[in-house]
Chain A
Amino acid sequence: MKTSKRNRVVVVGNGMVSYKFCEKLIAKTNGSVEFSVTVFGEEPRAAYDRVHLSAFFSGQTADDLALASTEWYQENGIQLHLSDPVVAIDRERQEVRSHHGHIVPYDYLVLATGSGAFVPPVAGVEKEGVFVYRTIEDLELIQAHARKARRGAVLGGGLLGLEAAKALLDLGLDEAHVVEFAPRLMPRQIDAAGSEVLQRQLEALGLHIHLSKSTQQIVGTESIEALQFTDGTSLDVDMLVISAGIRPRDELAKAAGLATHPRGGIVVDDFLQTSDPAIFAVGECALAHQMIYGLVAPGYEMAEVVASRLCGQEKAFAPFDMSTKLKLIGVDVASFGDPLAEEPGCRTIRYENRAKGIYKRVNVSADGKELLGGILVGDAEQYNMLLQTCKNKMVLPPNPEDLILGTRGGEEAATGGVLGLPDDALICSCEAVTKAMICQEVTERGYTSVEDIKKANKACTGCGGCTPLVKDLIVGTMKQQGVYVRNVICEHFAYSRQELLDLTKMNNLRTYNEVLDAFGHGDGCETCKPLVASVLASLWNENVLEKGRATVQDSNDRFLANIQKGGTYSVVPRIPGGEITPDKLIVIGEVAKRYGLYTKITGGQRIDLFGAHVSDLPRIWEELIAAGFESGHAYGKALRTVKSCVGSTWCRFGVQDSVSFAIEVEDRYKGIRSPHKLKSAVSGCIRECAEAQSKDFGIIATEKGWNLYVCGNGGSKPQHAQLLATDVDKETCIRLIDRFLMFYIKTADPLTRTATWLNKMEGGMRYLKAVVVDDVLGIGEELEREMQGLITAFKCEWKEVVENPELRKRFTHFVNVPEVKDPTVDFAEMRGQKRAKEWA
């Protein structure tokens, strides 16, 4: 390779920032080889993701953590020397010498030597079983030792220390301890109250936390046996991970006579130049603005600055915001701006909810106009908006507590939403994309999806943390322009689900192709097909597999069973209210044995039979139907189960017969298709053993009748159901459920549970009550009539398949050899039953 002078770049170190620097330099020179780049790394691996190091213990491999392969360096013409640290810099001759004796001349030298673990001067740190936590090699040593260890401790309760503690938990030690010198966890990021909430959360996860503990010595003959503290106490452990801070790797720079700080760090100016103008320093080894930036984002920004300058662009490294949000062992922790600002310069607002493990604090300027910083523990959903408010010095609402508590009762965010942000607000800090850049794509180029924005300016492509903000900006900008924001289904249908349902009904369409021909274009897709299938079923309740409807059903509806890992199916017969006779239980057992099925009781008081070959499904159902079972619709977006407690028939507390009512309700609504699955429950008294308040509709017995609750949800975002009617009789209760369900079926977006549907509904519960109970729209009777139509049309679809040879013959794996089962299906043995083989 021919290279003129002045463009030989040597990078010392091959960590994350070193890699980012190479990537940026390559991108800026746009593929043309203008620089000859040589990188020296001390570790045997090319750059990897050190931020997610602890993922190594939760199953990720070194390869998963890799940022770039050695091939990437080759392809981009970069000389990469691994396991070969630079040992000397000759500034006079402008060349470096490596451990293996390579001598490479440079025009520009970039020091990206990073940092090592700071090991406090405690007697005994050399003992076996004491580790630091910086590299994959360290992790491998920890992993090997952990196999014979039982009790581990981490020295240091900061960000890295808690990461290391998670690693100890993941390694399965019997006990994991965190020892912190300061009186609180994460002393740089959060205050005492936040630390207390965090500590409680971490303790609930099995960590033992020791604060205000100064370690005097590490006790043990050869191996570590205990930590001895200055207060006279001690802690027996057989392994210790030191994570007490970082020490910049400045020894090479120091030896070369570059200016370094007495407490560590290579001194650089705003352009990241060291005291030698040909030498730059980036990342954790550099001391910029009198501080070491120990996070990856500012490191990447430094890489950008130096790469830009080498390419002749004017760019300086501005003081970088150290706000951070992370998930520590499952607990959200965030701090932004000046999290620990004190009076009198600021006034603080604190919110603490010990029951839920949430702590929030915002620091507001003394004049109440500006947000100075804050802390979030346990719930960091508002982080993005708070950070923007803080960074952009936005005017605060009259009641600044709304920032963390929300404007109770209103939809708009307290600060007027994302559109209130100034144009130059940095939305995506990874790729330096501002609000104006995003809004411009929407207004000028008509981009309306996050995917479009990603392609246009790379926003959201880094850490992805800004995605919700970008979405809000897109929708907000569109609304501002007067564009009616409609949730259209997909490229084939420019309608919302509700519109398409109405059109399908008015035109009496019965098949997917009829709907597509009339109101869509193209050939459909995996989004609109199941949606239309569901709409057709909700309107007409005809067999989902007939008239060409089978191939538009989603995976599970197509074979009326739930597809599971490995390609077999699970079968759930309906057991209304969870009541079953001994004879029927025996039939389930016999069927499971005959077809070799794994059996498990479900959360909905039914029995799930797993591991059925697709070709066995009709025979299995033939036997179940002969014994009086019906489809349980576990595969459908339909009513699943109506759970019940035993009620007044047996229970000494019960005030009504909840089982009978549950069976009646389940029989009434079984098989009805809806935008998403429906769950229900009936409790026989106020003790609520059936957990009705977590269901889409739940009924609780009272002395005088029944209370009806709606729009509850379990799952990932649990939500309590809300009271719709009090002390109503059975008939009224059923009439209200008829209306409620039909209203939901007709108006909800696809795959939206009742809880989310209600959350998005303008007017919320008050409106829903007005429609369903008070019938302000005058559609009550119509809803009831439509529901009755669906109920009358019910047929067990499995019975129809079993009896219909045309439908039945589709249940084969090989169309040309129907008797052969899929030979790739494989099971493993577990506790006397089978289980699906793990994903390959």
Chain B
Amino acid sequence: MELITNDKDKITWHLACRAEDVPEDGGACALIEGRQIAIFNFTRRNEWYATDNQCPHRQQMALARGMIGSQLDEPKVACPFHKKTFSLRDGSCLSGDAYRIETYPVRVKEGLVYVGL
């Protein structure tokens, strides 16, 4: 796995996949350093997001398979299991529960997707 380290903010960028591997307006899961990261290609907004793949509600590895969308302007993902929704920006639970998910920075360069861990 290719590494690009950004010393300034201590983020290590990991090559995750090709941009075309993530369906438009949908997600895919990548295995990075033994962790399951959900990557979302929000084509409608021309934005990319990355979060934990695990939904904290029932600890299911499934967020990458969830539907994405928006609540007012907040981009969000809905877990396919019980439709708990999370902000793609800050990981907070938009369905009103106390738990949240981790979010990670994403960069797309020359058709390749990098996630910062």
Contacts and interface: CB of A to CB of B under 8 A. Distances in A.
Given A492-B69, A525-B71, A528-B69, 16 more contacts: A523-B44, A523-B45, A523-B68, A523-B70, A525-B85, A529-B69, A548-B24, A550-B23, A555-B66, A559-B65, A566-B60, A813-B29, A815-B21, A815-B29, A816-B30, A839-B59
B70 A525 contact: yes
A531 to B, nearest CB: 11
A551 B23 contact: yes
B80 A555 contact: yes
Interface string B64-101: 01111111110110101101010000000000000000
B80 A563 contact: yes
A519 B72 CA distance: 17
A210 interface: no
Contacts of A552: 25, 67
B16 interface: yes
A526 B65 contact: no
A529 B68 CA distance: 9
Nearest to A815: B28
B49 interface: no
A551 B83 CA distance: 15
Contacts of B48: none
B62 interface: yes
Q: Which 3 A-B pairs have the closest CB atoms?
A: A551-B26, A555-B80, A525-B69
A621 to B, nearest CB: 18
Contacts of A558: 65, 80
17 contacts: A491-B72, A522-B69, A525-B76, A526-B83, A528-B69, A529-B69, A551-B68, A552-B25, A555-B81, A567-B60, A567-B61, A810-B23, A815-B17, A815-B30, A815-B39, A816-B32, A820-B31
A839 B58 contact: yes
A554 interface: yes
B26 A550 contact: yes
A529 B25 CA distance: 11
B50 interface: no
A182 to B, nearest CB: 45
Contacts of A816: 16-17, 21, 30-32
Contacts of B71: 491, 525
A419 to B, nearest CB: 30
A637 B53 CA distance: 27
Contact of A525 (B60, B62, B67): B67
A840 B57 CA distance: 9
A822 B61 contact: yes
A810 B66 CA distance: 14
A451 to B, nearest CB: 10
B78 A526 contact: yes
A513 to B, nearest CB: 7
Nearest to A813: B29
Contacts of A551: 23-27, 67-68
A524 interface: yes
B30 A814 contact: yes
A760 B34 CA distance: 52
A602 interface: no
Interface of B: 16-17, 21-32, 36, 39, 42, 44-45, 58-62, 65-73, 75-76, 78, 80-81, 83, 85
A586 interface: no
Interface centre among B16, B24, B26, B85 (most CB of A within 10 A): B26
Nearest to B77: A526
A824 interface: yes
Interface residues of A, number: 34
B67 A548 contact: no
Contacts of A248: none
A41 interface: no
A548 B67 CA distance: 12
A550 B66 CA distance: 11
Interface of A: 491-492, 513, 522-526, 528-530, 548, 550-552, 554-555, 558-559, 563, 566-567, 810, 813-817, 820, 822, 824-825, 839-840
A707 B51 CA distance: 55
B59 A529 contact: no
Nearest to B30: A816
Nearest to B72: A491
Nearest to B28: A815
A524 B70 contact: yes
A617 to B, nearest CB: 13
A276 B55 CA distance: 56
B16 to A, nearest CB: 6
Contacts of A550: 23, 26
Contacts of A840: 58-59
A526 B25 contact: no
Contacts of A567: 60-62
B95 to A, nearest CB: 10
A523 B65 contact: no
Contacts of B25: 513, 548, 551-552
B49 to A, nearest CB: 12
Given A523-B44, A525-B76, A817 B31 contact: yes
A528 B68 CA distance: 11
Contacts of B23: 548, 550-551, 810
Given A525-B76, A548-B24, A563-B81, A814 B65 contact: no
Nearest to B47: A523
A73 to B, nearest CB: 20
Contacts of B62: 563, 567
Contacts of A814: 29-31, 36
Contacts of B85: 525-526
A523 B69 contact: yes
A811 to B, nearest CB: 11
Contacts of A559: 65
Nearest to A548: B24
Contacts of B24: 548, 551
Nearest to A559: B65
Nearest to A524: B69
Contacts of B72: 491, 522
Contacts of A839: 58-59
A555 B17 contact: no
Interface centre among B23, B32, B69 (most CB of A within 10 A): B69
A207 B61 CA distance: 43
Interface centre among B22, B29, B32, B59 (most CB of A within 10 A): B29
Contacts of B22: 815
A836 B41 CA distance: 31
A66 to B, nearest CB: 15
B64 to A, nearest CB: 8
A455 to B, nearest CB: 12
A86 B30 CA distance: 60
Contacts of B69: 492, 522-526, 528-529
Contacts of B28: 815
A814 B70 CA distance: 25
Nearest to B60: A567
A518 to B, nearest CB: 14
